[in-house]
Copies of this chain bind each other. A is one copy, B any other.
Amino acid sequence: MKVTREQAAANREKVLQAAGRLFRKHGFEGIGLADIMKAAGLTHGGFYGHFDSKHDLAAEACERALDASRKSWIEGSPGADLETAVRKYLTPRHRSDPGRGCLFAALGSEVARQPRNVRHAFTEGLRSTIHAIAELLPGPSAASRREQAVATMAGLVGAMILSRAVDDAQFSDEILEAAAAVFSRTN
């Protein structure tokens, strides 16, 4: 069954959306193409009409997801300060919904083992995110703002990862709260 060109483009978009969500939720190796296609309302056979490989899908889906979450997190609310951004990131809501959250936190330790194109998408996404954080920071020099931004990003990502890994709800909350307290201080 052929489909309108616009419909085909919309389908491709749905595949990217579903992939971005399901990769974050289950990991790159924890979800199959058939399930991703099904979540997009299609069957798996049509996949290779849109993408060359699972890795290519991963790279493109990551690029989209990185842009989208940076926009909704920081760039979407201009004028907000660091504390707002930090507290918006370190919420129980974010912790419980990796599929719609930060890609670095959801897939961070898997990225080092991914092919070149996926790692590249991450690198550029991280660059932009750190740049955006640096703009929220006070601090005497651009170099010190950037240093702070890098460390803060590392702290947020690490805190979210640890809070999700832990099997004790109280400990998990403590991690989010401690990190929020420390990383929202601009000293």
Contact = CB atoms under 8 A, between A and B. Distances in A.
Interface of A: 26-27, 29-30, 98, 104-113, 116, 119-120, 122-123, 126-127, 146-148, 150-151, 153-159, 161-162, 164-168, 171, 174-175, 178-179, 181-183, 187
A154 B165 contact: no
Contacts of A110: 27, 109-110
A179 B167 contact: no
Stoichiometry, copies per complex: 2
Contacts of A151: 155, 159, 178-179, 181-183
B175 A150 contact: yes
Nearest to A111: B165
Contacts of A158: 108, 153-159, 161
